[in-house]
Amino acid sequence: MLDYIISKYNFWIYVVLMMIGLYAMIGKKNLIKKLIGMNIFQSAMILFYVSIGVKAGATVPILSGHGHGHVHEVIEVAKYLNPLPHVLMLTAIVVSIATTGVALATLILIYRRYNTLEEDEILKIRKDTGV
Amino acid sequence: MKLVALIAVFMTGALLIYGVEDMPRWGDPNSPASSHVSPKYIQEAIEKTATPNMVSAVLADYRGYDTLGETSVIYTAAIACILMLRKKRKGEGE
């Protein structure tokens, strides 16, 4: 059992991180905590994709000493990390920044209107005022 | 409520742990993600785009339209934040 966990420990770590984020999103009442949970979830996904691109003994996917686009020797694929997950996660990081920014702005508006960020209190205020 | 959340989270976790069984080992150079299309990018990026950095070659050359769309996502988010947080002038809105 322990060998089984250790052989793929990186995926176990991402699963645990994702569970923390998912629990914060579902179980917590504070909206800021929900947002932080979403960010933890996104970080787990990003780490997962980056770890897919890892090759043992390889280096970052940047060619050294080829400034002008003329390559004479053959490029060994196994010597460079897989660049595609890195590119996709660059995009995902940008999107996560955008969603976090818009969510924080929305939370500021919610706080201005209800003077609280607790979900149950907001729902109670809405029920009492009949909105 | 918390119990329901915990049950849902642990069920999702168990499903994902079940899926981990089929994933490649850490650092496997012959993993599916590294053996189909990515060798082509690693070998041809320098000839086709003259960029030594493969990540930026894929980001800005192969997937240029994707990056353009990404920029529009950031722009939309910035506009949304400005519209939500600006100070209202007198006689406008609430």
Residue that is written with structure tokens 């002038």 in the block: B89
Q: Is residue A74, in this structure, part of any structural domain at all? A: no
Distance (Å, rounded) from C-alpha A7 to C-alpha A75? 30
- pLDDT of the residue at B94: 54
pTM score, whole prediction: 0.85
CB-based contact A94:B77 (threshold 8 Å):
no
Least confident piece of the model among A1-15, A17-31, B7-21, B57-71:
A1-15
- Domain range spanning residue A50? 2-55+79-129
- pLDDT of the residue at B33: 85
CB atoms within 10 A of CB A56: 10
B50 contacts chain A (CB < 8 A):
yes
* Residue B4: band (very low, low, confident or very high) from pLDDT cuts 50, 70, 90: very high
Q: Is residue A16, in this structure, part of any structural domain at all? A: yes
B3 contacts chain A (CB < 8 A):
no
Q: Is residue A47, in this structure, part of any structural domain at all? A: yes
CB-based contact A4:A30 (threshold 8 Å):
no
Count of A-B CB contacts under 8 Å: 146
CB contact under 8 A, B42 and A102: no
* Residue B34: band (very low, low, confident or very high) from pLDDT cuts 50, 70, 90: confident
- pLDDT of the residue at A6: 81
Per-residue pLDDT tens digits for A36-84: 999 999 999 999 999 988 888 888 888 876 555 455 567 788 888 899 9
Number of folded domains that form chain A: 1
Residue that is written with structure tokens 């205020």 in the block: A125
Q: Is residue A71, in this structure, part of any structural domain at all? A: no
CB contact under 8 A, A83 and B63: no
CATH label of the domain that carries residue A89: 1.10.287.3510
CB contact under 8 A, B12 and A94: no
- Helix-, strand-, coil-residue percentages of chain B, each rounded to 5: 70, 0, 30
pLDDT at B82 over 90: yes
Extract the tokens encoding A94.
């940008």
Selected residue of B2, B40, B42, B56 to mutate for chain A interface (largest A Cβ count, 10 A): B42
- In this structure, which long-range contacts are made by residues B67-71, counting pairs with CB atoms below 8 Å and at least 24 apart in sequence? B67/A91, B70/A91, B70/A94, B70/A95
Q: State the nearest Cα–Cα gap between A41 and chain B, in angstroms.
A: 12
Per-residue pLDDT tens digits for A84-110: 999 999 999 999 999 999 999 999 999
In B, which residues are within 8 Å of A64 by CB distance? 52
Least confident piece of the model among B40-44, B51-55, B75-79, B85-89:
B85-89
In A, which residues are within 8 Å of B2 by CB distance? 27
Nearest residue on chain B to A19, judged by CA atoms?
A: B9
Nearest residue on chain B to A65, judged by CA atoms?
A: B52
Q: State the nearest Cα–Cα gap between B9 and chain A, in angstroms.
A: 6
Q: Is residue A24, in this structure, part of any structural domain at all? A: yes
- Residue A98's identity, in one-letter code, is A
